[in-house]
């Protein structure tokens, strides 16, 4: 019995030691300076972002993303007070001014701006970017601007997702390495490169850039479609990927650092208002009803809803999309017309009323029931009972 117990304990010890994960100390990498700058023929000025790569030595906490403060609010490490120069094809040197130096709200660190409108960019001209950090690190990069006439104003079109196909065509641009097609969606852009000068975008196109393979075109939303001629730096940086294990794979042409200095010319710009047939009790245009006093304080003046995707199974909800017309008071920075995403199942409805057109930015949530041609429910934040009636 004693020998059996000893054998059992020995086997248990061996099993436990076999399951233990080996602990390996990974050396901390050195921080590098990373820049991101793309000269744009349609921008009012040219912007460069300058930051440090993460090494684990600095704790970074990202707050909700804010465009005037893109590095800090994306949990980046800003590189401030650098000496930044842009040398033009005719030999002039422009000095980049950091946004934080001219803003009074404490934003814009690591964002450097050159007073050079896109309309002044020389097609086919080579621009050189020079950066010197406070620590004495020197970075340099060059880009040659593609040719082509810039599309400054959008062409507005109504796009019925159920039957339309967007045929987007553009002229060839001298010096373009490739053409970058991008469709804005509430779930993130659908973007790809092409060597052709035309693409067909069917209404039922799926977004392979998202995990859920959502539709690209969402009824009720305005969606921009752009095509840009890009240089080799832009093309190689964005077509390459960083390997999750080795960290290798990115095509980097920045001397002394990491990142991209590229250029693009937007050749085509379409603004699509996406619609679809409005069928079913949850689809249609709804307006609030009630007493004169209730209507005078109603936060939402109209809900325009579509069945974005019918449920695949009976135990699932239909996906809804659309837009709302919102009451905007004095000093209210919010949008007057905003996006809606939601669901409906068995007469219940839940709507995420967005702050703008991004699925990640919900302003208010409305939950209720569909009773004939009426939606009855309440707001999560504002409270109270609201009635919306479908317009015929």
257 assigned to some structural domain = yes
Three-state secondary structure along the chain? CHHHHHHHHHHHHHHHHHHCCCCCCCCCCCCCEEEEEEEECCCCCEEEEEEECCCCCCCCCCCCCCCCCCCHHHCCEECCCCEEEEECCCCCEEECEEHHHCCCCCCCCCEEEECCCHHHCCCCCEEEEEEECCCCCEEEEEEECCCCCCCCCCEEEEEECCCCEEEEECCCCCCCCEEEEEECCCCCCEEEEECCCEEEEECCCECCCCCCCCECCCCCCEEEEEEEEECHHHHHHHHCCCCCCCCCCCCCCCECCEEEEEEEEEEEEEEEEEECCCCCCCCEEEEEECCHHHHHCCCEEEEEEEEEECCCCCCCCEEEEEEEEECCCCCCCCCCEEEEEEEEECCEEEEEEECCCCCCCEEEEEEEEEECCEEEEEECCCCCEEEEEECC
**Of 274, 296, 313, which closes a domain?**
274
**Of 274, 295, 327, which closes a domain?**
274
For residue 297, the enclosing domain spans 277-390
Q: According to the model, what pLDDT value does residue 332 have?
A: 76
What is the spatial distance between Cα 250 and Cα 233, in angstroms, rounded to a whole number?
11
**Same domain for 301 and 269:** no
**Same domain for 89 and 206:** yes
pTM: 0.85
Q: According to the model, what pLDDT value does residue 330 have?
A: 74
**Same domain for 87 and 155:** yes
142 assigned to some structural domain = yes
**Same domain for 62 and 187:** yes
**Same domain for 318 and 247:** no
232 assigned to some structural domain = yes
Q: According to the model, what pLDDT value does residue 53 have?
A: 85
**Same domain for 296 and 337:** yes
**Same domain for 359 and 231:** no
**Same domain for 219 and 289:** no
**Same domain for 355 and 290:** yes
Q: Are strands 374-379 and 138-144 parallel, antiparallel or unpaired?
A: unpaired
19 assigned to some structural domain = no
Which CATH number characterizes residue 354's domain? 2.40.128
119 assigned to some structural domain = yes
**Same domain for 305 and 254:** no
**Same domain for 215 and 131:** yes
**Same domain for 357 and 252:** no
pLDDT in tens, the chain (392 residues): 545 544 454 544 545 555 555 665 555 567 889 999 999 999 999 999 999 987 554 554 444 555 676 766 666 788 899 999 999 999 999 999 999 998 888 888 999 999 999 999 999 999 999 999 999 999 999 999 999 999 999 999 999 999 999 999 999 999 999 999 999 999 999 999 999 999 999 999 999 888 888 999 999 999 999 999 999 999 999 988 765 555 567 889 999 999 999 999 999 999 999 999 998 899 999 999 999 988 888 999 999 999 999 998 888 999 999 999 999 877 777 789 999 999 999 999 999 999 999 999 999 999 999 999 999 999 998 878 999 999 97
**Of 240, 274, 308, which closes a domain?**
274
51 assigned to some structural domain = yes
């Amino acid at each position: 019995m004693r020998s059996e117990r000893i054998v059992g304990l020995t086997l248990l010890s061996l099993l436990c030691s076999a399951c233990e994960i080996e602990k390996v100390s990974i050396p901390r990498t050195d921080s590098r300076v990373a820049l991101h700058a793309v000269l744009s023929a349609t921008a009012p000025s040219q912007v460069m972002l300058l930051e440090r790569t993460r090494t684990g030595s600095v704790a970074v906490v990202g707050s909700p993303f804010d465009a005037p403060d893109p590095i800090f609010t994306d949990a980046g490490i800003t590189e401030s007070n650098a000496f930044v120069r842009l040398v033009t094809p005719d030999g002039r040197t422009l000095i980049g001014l950091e946004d934080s130096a001219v803003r009074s709200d404490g934003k814009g660190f690591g964002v450097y701006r050159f007073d050079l409108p896109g309309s002044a960019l020389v097609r086919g001209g080579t621009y050189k970017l020079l950066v010197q950090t406070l620590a004495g690190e020197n970075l340099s990069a060059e880009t040659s601007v593609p040719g082509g006439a810039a599309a400054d104003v959008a062409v507005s079109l109504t796009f019925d997702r159920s039957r339309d196909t967007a045929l987007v065509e553009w002229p060839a641009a001298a010096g373009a390495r490739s053409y970058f097609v991008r469709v804005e969606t509430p779930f993130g852009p659908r973007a790809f490169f092409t060597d052709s000068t035309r693409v067909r975008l069917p209404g039922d196109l799926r977004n392979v850039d998202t995990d859920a393979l959502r539709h690209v075109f969402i009824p009720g939303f305005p969606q921009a479609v752009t095509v840009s001629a890009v240089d080799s730096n832009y093309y190689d940086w964005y077509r390459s990927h960083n390997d999750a294990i080795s960290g290798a794979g990115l095509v980097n042409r920045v001397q002394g650092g990491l990142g991209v200095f590229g250029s693009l010319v937007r050749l085509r710009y379409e603004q699509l208002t996406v619609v679809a047939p409005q069928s079913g009790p949850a689809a249609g245009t709804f307006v609030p009803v009630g007493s004169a006093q209730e209507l005078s304080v109603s936060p939402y003046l109209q809900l325009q809803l579509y069945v974005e995707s019918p449920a695949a199974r009976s135990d699932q909800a239909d996906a809804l999309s659309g837009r709302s017309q919102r009451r905007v008071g004095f000093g209210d920075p919010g949008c007057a017309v905003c996006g809606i995403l939601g669901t409906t199942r068995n007469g219940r409805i839940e709507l995420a009323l967005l702050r703008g057109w991004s699925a990640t930015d919900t302003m208010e949530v409305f939950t209720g029931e569909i009773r004939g041609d009426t939606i009855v429910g309440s707001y999560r934040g504002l409270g109270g009972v609201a009635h919306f009636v479908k317009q015929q």
